Each structure stands twice: as structure tokens, then as C-alpha cells.
């Protein structure tokens, strides 16, 4: 094993935890998670340990606390890279509480970048989002598509976040930075032992479907049935969380192969397939052989009508392609939900 460390901020969260597993399985580096558990439980680490057989080093730290962030990164020893997942991610919550989102997502990013500079960390990956594209007429979206108006404060934190990463890359030529624009990560680890388990009520489709199916929430509300799409519901590009996780390993490898020019690159992470909310519900019903209680409700502020990615740039540069089908995503999310039920029964 190498003596240097990859820091994963938000490592107890949904995508961070799956990425830690892939880093442990596919790279020689040590891993350190920095998380304040604002939307996760430290129990995630024992789940990762059960799957990987390796202990997860972690420090509980609020990355909005500058001094504490600098101390935590210093404690890591020699840091080869930082993958910065930590952020708040609910579009509707960001519309209701913009200050919370701007403060948490921007201040934590600034502190983590400052620490990266202070400790000469050569590789930096930023969790961005397809929400930076806004409502684009031209689909599929490409990395060089012009960014639209951000539809929510959350989306705006990601647009600004990318600009902040760019500005730091401009003055830190030794830094190799990559912003990854995730489309809609769903599903769970193939073991059934790890998946999405947010502290705050979920607002994303798949965790809501799962909670309704097991009776933890009353119904799925489809936010809008009158969009200009093939069945009136929104269209998204659902991509398996473990595919997203392996893309981070590929991005790190890309960054480490040779100094990048320019030293900040942007890649979309999606399957390239647009799936409507109603089609996703049908996939769940057919995989699990059960009816889901759902109804069409009004549109939700902050949502775009349709978005899916052009996959070519990521395939060519990173050699990454999403592998899991929508049915596999639903089946694995369902297996994880069953595991959570068993755990709750003791």
C-alpha cells in the first residue's frame, strides 16, 4: 500500500461511501473520510468495513470551520488527492433555505481548496451536478454546452463551485482539478449492505420510491405531469452509484497519468439514456412485482423538464462507461431497503 492518502469529504454520505469502497478495492492509497454527519451516520463506516474488510479512517469535522478543516487535512499526513463530496444536495430545500445552501456548499469548498493549497495536494475532484445546465433546449447535454440559468440555489452553488475550482486552478498550476457533473445517481452496492440512508427526508425519486414501498412514506408524488416530454413527467439520466464511484477512480488515474492541460477538466457522468419518472416507477414495479402508490402532483420549483448526457467526452478521456441497467439499479436499491428493514427489526 502507498503511504499517501486520498481524502474523501462527505465520505459517510451516499456517493462518498461507495467511492471509498472502490478506492479501497482499486487503488493503493490510504483513505480518510472527513464528514460532520449533517446528512449521514457514522454507522456507514462499519458498513464499508463489512464489505471491504478494511477499517475506515475518519475525522468528524465541519468543513465550514476553516481552522478545523486545515487541522484535519494536516492530520492526514501526505495527501495525494481530495475528492470533495461534502455539500447539501436537496433542490427543494435549497429553494426554501438558500442561505443554508450557499453557506455550506461554498464555504466548505473554499476551506477545502485552501487546505489543498496549504498542503500542496496535487489532485482535486469536485462533485458537480447536471443541474448546472439548467433547462437546455438542446439534448443530450455536452460538457461544452453553454450553462443555462440555474433553476435553484443548489444548482447555483454548483455553477459557482466550478468557477471557484477554476479560479484556484488558474493560480495553482501544480493542482490538477476535475469537476464531475453527476446526472442522477441511484441504486446501492451489489452486496445489499450499503446504499442511500439519508438523515434528512429524501427528495430524490428512488429513495422516495423505496420508502413508500416499505411503508415509511405514504405515497410517491410525481412532481408535474404536464411537462413537454413523452409522458408528461420529467426525464432524467439515472446512473448506478457504483458506476459513479468507479468514475472517481478513473478520474484520479487520469489526473495522475500526466499533468493535465488545462489543469481543470470537466466531465459528465451519466448513461446517456433519458428515463421519465413514470418509466422509472414502472421499472421498479416490474423488478419487484408490486404496485407502487403514486399520484401526479403539481410541478416542483427548481426542477428542469428533461436532461440526459452525451457520454463521449467521458468515455474517450477517462475510459469510463456506466455499466448497470435501470432494472439493476432498482433491484439493488430494493435489496438495500430490505437490509435496512431487517436491521431495524434487530
Binding region for ligand NAD (CB under 6 A): 10, 12-16, 35-40, 62-64, 85-89, 104, 108, 127, 129, 182, 184-185, 198, 204
Rama region for 261: left / alpha / beta (φ>0; ψ in -120 to 50; rest): beta
Question: Using CA atoms, how far apart are residues 169 and 126, in angstroms rounded to an integer?
Answer: 12
Burial label for 171, CB within 10 Å (0-12, 13-18, 19+), is: exposed
> Taking Cα atoms as reference points, which of 1, 177, 14, 2 lies closest to residue 83?
177
Contact 132, 159 (CB under 8 A): yes
Cell (9 digits) for 314:
467521458
Shortest Cβ 40–ligand NAD spacing (Å): 3
| For ligand NAD, the closer CB: 35 or 303 | 35
Tell the residue number behind the cell numbers 448506478, with chain if given: 240
Active site (catalytic) residues: 154
Distance CA 206, CA 213 (A): 11
Smallest distance from ligand NAD to CB 77, Å:
20
Which residues are paired to 126 by β-bridges?
A: 84, 179
Q: Closer to ligand NAD by CB, 67 or 228: give it.
A: 67
Indicate the residue whose CB is closest to ligand NAD.
13
- Closest contact distance (angstroms) between CB of 128 and ligand NAD is 7
C-alpha span between 235 and 229 (Å, rounded):
7
Collapsing DSSP to helix, strand or coil, 181 comes out as strand
Helix axis angle, 66-75 to 108-118, nearest 10° = 40
Which of 223, 238, 229, 133 minimizes the C-alpha distance to 183?
Answer: 238
CA nearest 327: which of 272, 275, 291? 275
Distance CA 122, CA 117 (A): 9
Q: Report the residue number, 269 or 283, with the smaller CB distance to ligand NAD.
A: 269
Measured from the CB atom, is 8 or 121 closer to ligand NAD? 8
H/E stretch holding 313 = helix 312-318
* Residue found by looking up cell 449533517 in the block: 38
C-beta separation of 308 from 236 below 8 A = yes
CA–CA distance, 228 with 235 (Å, rounded to integer): 10
Amino acid at each position: 500500500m502507498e503511504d499517501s492518502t486520498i481524502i474523501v469529504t462527505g465520505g459517510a454520505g451516499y456517493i462518498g461511501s461507495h467511492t471509498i469502497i472502490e478506492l479501497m478495492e482499486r487503488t493503493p492509497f490510504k483513505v480518510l473520510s472527513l464528514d460532520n454527519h449533517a446528512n449521514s451516520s457514522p454507522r456507514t463506516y462499519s458498513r464499508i468495513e463489512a464489505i471491504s474488510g478494511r477499517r475506515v479512517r475518519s475525522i468528524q469535522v465541519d468543513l465550514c470551520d476553516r481552522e478545523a478543516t486545515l487541522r484535519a487535512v494536516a492530520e492526514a499526513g501526505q495527501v495525494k488527492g481530495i475528492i470533495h463530496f461534502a455539500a447539501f444536495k436537496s433542490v427543494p430545500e435549497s429553494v426554501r433555505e438558500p442561505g443554508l445552501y450557499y453557506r455550506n456548499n461554498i464555504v466548505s469548498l473554499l476551506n477545502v481548496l485552501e487546505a489543498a493549497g496549504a498542503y500542496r495536494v496535487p489532485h482535486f475532484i469536485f462533485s458537480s451536478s447536471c443541474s448546472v445546465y439548467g433547462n437546455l433546449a438542446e439534448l443530450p447535454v455536452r460538457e461544452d454546452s453553454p450553462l443555462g440559468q440555474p433553476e435553484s440555489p443548489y444548482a447555483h452553488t454548483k455553477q459557482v463551485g466550478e468557477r471557484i475550482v477554476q479560479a484556484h486552478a488558474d493560480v495553482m498550476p501544480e493542482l490538477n482539478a476535475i469537476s464531475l457533473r453527476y446526472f442522477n445517481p441511484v441504486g446501492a452496492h451489489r452486496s445489499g449492505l450499503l446504499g442511500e440512508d439519508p438523515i434528512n427526508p429524501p427528495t430524490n425519486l428512488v429513495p422516495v420510491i423505496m420508502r413508500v414501498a416499505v411503508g415509511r412514506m405514504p405515497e410517491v408524488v410525481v412532481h408535474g405531469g404536464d411537462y413537454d416530454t413523452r409522458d408528461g413527467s420529467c426525464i432524467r439520466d439515472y446512473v448506478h452509484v457504483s458506476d459513479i464511484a468507479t468514475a472517481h477512480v478513473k478520474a484520479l488515474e487520469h489526473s495522475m497519468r500526466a499533468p493535465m492541460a488545462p489543469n481543470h477538466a470537466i466531465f459528465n457522468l451519466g448513461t446517456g439514456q433519458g428515463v421519465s419518472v413514470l418509466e422509472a416507477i414502472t421499472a421498479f414495479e416490474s423488478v419487484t412485482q408490486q404496485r407502487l402508490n403514486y399520484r401526479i402532483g403539481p410541478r416542483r420549483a427548481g426542477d428542469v423538464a428533461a436532461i440526459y448526457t452525451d457520454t463521449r467526452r467521458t468515455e474517450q478521456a477517462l475510459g469510463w462507461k456506466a455499466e448497470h441497467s435501470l432494472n439493476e439499479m432498482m433491484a439493488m436499491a430494493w435489496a438495500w431497503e430490505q437490509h435496512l428493514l431487517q436491521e431495524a427489526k434487530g
